[in-house]
Amino acid sequence: MNPLSPPVSNSTPRNRPGLDGWAAHHLVFQFVRSCWLVVVASVLVLVEAFRKGVDTYYDFLNIKWVMGWMLSNGQFDLKGIASTRKWGPPFLDIWNATWSSTGPWWLPNVVHGVAHLLIVPSVFVLAQRVAPRAPNLIHQVVAALAVLVPLVRMQIGTSTGHLYAALPLIWSLALLVGGRKGSDLRGRNSSFSWGTHWSPTPEALGEEVCVRLFLAGALLALSPLLKPSVLSTVPAHLVAVAILVGSVSGTVAFVLGFAATYLLGAIGWASVVAVATTGSPLNVQSPGIPIAGPSLIVVTLVVLALAVLSLRATSWRFWLPTKFDAHPVALLGLTFAMVVVSHAFASYLRRAVPDYRWLIPDFAGLRDRLFHAGDLQFGYLTVDLESAYFDTTIPLAMVLLGGAVLLLPLVLVRTGDKQLLPALGVIIFITYPLLYNMWATGYTRYASQVVPLVGVSGIALFSLVNARAVRLIGSLAVVAVLSLPMFLTNRVSAEVPRFGQVAYETPVYEDFVSAEEIAVLNDLLPHQATVLAIGTINTYLVPQLGRDDLDWWFWEPKRDEVAQMEGDIILLFNPGSSDELPEYAEKGLLYDDCSVLRFRRTSVGLCIGSVDSAVRSEALEST
């Protein structure tokens, strides 16, 4: 039964024209009865988003707001603010910057809240598809817990982006496991509404399958297009795709859908940046992609051509021989190959990781990290996130992943079991990225987009059990473990924090900087002045001023650049970073008459700048 389209009795046919009041009332009653918890949890997300107060997420205030605002205004010369980030897909930053730069303080919260609440019905539908034999209430509880676990709840209503990235991830998985219309494998005779692991004959792997797998891959690509850091966890998702899809050919279709969509979005954007900044699309580059320039353009075009061809090709010409295509050994071999590839990516990330606070030195450390519940150590030191938290999701995910890996050999033995492969695929697709990310970066947030899905992987594992009582007890155990943080509230870090917020201690229910304060600052910045923003947490003032006459600098200028500065010069700084001012003086940028505006919630330092005459002389001599 799909509660989103509740069954209608014969007396009230679904498409009967002119439903009378009673029938309509009955439909509403049925709907509410079958999804009441989903509705309540969705509303709670919206309330939580509002309750968080104005979003003061550190990365957003520090970099992303001004970057999104400038890029959306066609300003690609960022002069030091995220100069390399501009090459990556900035779509979510532009989205967030737009909502934060207009309207009342709560507008972004409402927008984020509406987007984040979609997680609940999405997980609900996924849970139904993954475990149709589980009770409806379990589906609903799993959907509710997807947003109530602390690691997710702390991000609701904020601009961190991981919850936005979670949505296409859920939809991609839902499409992968979604049932084919009229499939006789759907329903109570099968734990999975087994959509993609169809009979792997060339006929079966026809257009419909191809399009569905391609679309699933394309949906997955939306995740890193929204949140570029998610790209690093994609190899971990791909590990599970072969066994989830059930055929090598299907895996290729999925990967093509992913690659084509990602490259279209990411390289399409990077080409715009290349044209705007260098005058030629051939100078394109994209973070996370090891090639650049014309090679990248060629690769993108080849992938797009292959994608178009794969969608147009008839099955028997395109796909591999049947026996090989779906053979368990081939699937496990492909899975193992992806594990090796993902390990190589993890090693690369470990070498390149910029933050050694979280990096795990060895496998013993990895074990400890994976099975802790996010508490503090050594008094106040957080273990794998800047905020203290208590959450049981990751340890549970590791137990489920261990169970799935132990069951994998059964794939070779129980070749006729049509439930086994997709169930294991779902579990690995959801849980392996948590293990992978912990080893690669050690930082929990980078994989937090899969946290809402862990409950689904739990009921996927127990859906393999035929005994109804055991299946039910297993699902309840999953729910109980995920719910623990809501009951064990006496722990040091049990309170759900406001993740990464500058206004950390208490929520702020008004603009972080008021309109009056912005007006005061505005009057202190002369027309067409050169403004050097120094230190952290001050660039968010730029979009709020909204002035295009000012020439903003976000990096320390060189002496020859200082020599060319004309007109009024203002040094705008975070008072906590004022020790950086002497470095500017060394470059010939003198400062005087420094003041600090002590606003209600933030402080802004201002100095009047001038160019050292010696620097101008140097420039004149050199010319």
Contact positions vs another protein (CB under 8 A): 72, 95, 98-99, 101-103, 107, 175, 178, 180-181, 201, 203-204, 206-208, 211-212, 215, 315, 378-382, 388, 518-520, 522-528, 543, 545-550, 575-576, 578-579, 581, 594-598, 600-603, 605
Least distance to another protein, CB of residue 432, Å: 27
Q: How far is the CB of 212 from another protein (least distance, A)?
A: 5
Specify the residue, 279 or 379, whose C-beta has the smaller distance to another protein.
379
Q: Provide the minimum distance between the beta carbon of 564 and another protein in the complex, in angstroms, as a whole number.
A: 22
Do 491 and 390 contact (CB within 8 A), yes or no? yes
Q: Dihedrals φ, ψ of 501, to 5°? A: -90, 140
Alpha-carbon span 171 to 451, nearest angstrom: 15
> Of the two residues 549 and 621, which places its CB atom closer to another protein in the complex?
549
Instruction: Give the span between the Cα atoms of 460 and 477, in whole angstroms.
Output: 13
| Least distance between another protein and beta carbon 209 (Å) | 9
Min dist CB 61 to another protein, Å, is: 13
Three-state secondary structure readout of 389-427: CCCCHHHHHHHHHHHHHHHCCHHHHCCCCCCHHHHHHHH
> Where do we find the tokens 């079991």?
417
Token pair listed for 333? 């071999």
Which residue, 27 or 410, is less far from another protein as judged by CB?
A: 27
Strand partners, 383: none
DSSP state of 321: P
Nearer to another protein, 355 or 621 (CB): 355
Which parts of 441-467 fold into alpha helices (H)? 454-462
- β 569-573/530-534 pair status: parallel
Min dist. Cβ of residue 482 to another protein (A): 26
C-beta closer to another protein: residue 280 or 377: 377
Alpha-carbon dihedral of residues 295, 297, 302, 308, nearest 10 degrees?
Answer: 170
Residue with Cβ nearer another protein (42 or 431): 42
Q: Of the two residues 372 and 414, which places its CB atom closer to another protein in the complex?
A: 372
Type of residue at 539: T
Q: Output DSSP code: residue 188.
A: T
User: Is the distance from CB of 534 to CB of 497 less than 8 angstroms?
Assistant: no
Smaller CB distance to another protein: residue 330 or 524? 524
Cα separation, 335 vs 31, in Å, equals: 40
User: In this structure, what token pair is assigned to residue 326?
Assistant: 């779906």
With respect to another protein, which residue has the nearer C-beta, 208 or 618? 208
Tell me the closest approach of the beta carbon of residue 594 to another protein, in angstroms: 6
> Cβ closer to another protein: 215 or 394?
215
User: Least distance in Å: CB of 243 to another protein?
Assistant: 22
Whether 407 and 329 have beta carbons less than 8 Å apart is answered as: no
- Chain centre to alpha carbon of residue 352: 20
Instruction: State which amino acid sits at residue 243.
Output: I
**Residue nearer to another protein on the CB measure, 178 or 609:** 178
The least CB distance from residue 93 to another protein, in Å, is 13
How many residues in total does the chain contain?
Answer: 623
What is the DSSP secondary-structure string of 336-394? Answer: HHHHHHHHHHHHHHHHH-S-TTT---SHHHHHHHHTS-S-EETTTEESSSSS-----HH
Which of residues 403 and 575 has its CB atom nearest to another protein in the complex?
A: 575
b/e per residue, 570-585, with b = 16+ CB within 10 A? Answer: bbbbbeeebeebeebe
Nearer to another protein, 441 or 602 (CB): 602
Q: C-beta of 520: minimal distance to another protein in Å?
A: 7
Q: Find, among 223, 176, 42, 34, the residue nearest to 121 by Cα.
A: 42
The minimum distance between CB 287 and another protein, in angstroms, equals 24
What residues contact 84, with CB distance under 8 A and at least 6 apart?
A: 287
Report the nearest approach of another protein to the CB of residue 513 (Å).
12
CB contact burial 411-427 (16+ within 10 A = b; e otherwise) = beeeeeebbbbbbbbbb
Distance CA 224, CA 71 (A): 19
Cα–Cα distance, 517 to 528 (Å, whole number): 20
**Helix and strand numbers, DSSP H then E, in the chain:** 27, 7
Q: Which is nearer to another protein, 37 or 176 (CB)?
A: 176
Cβ at position 246, least distance to another protein in Å = 16
First to last CA, the chain: 80
Give min distance, CB of 85 to another protein, in A: 20
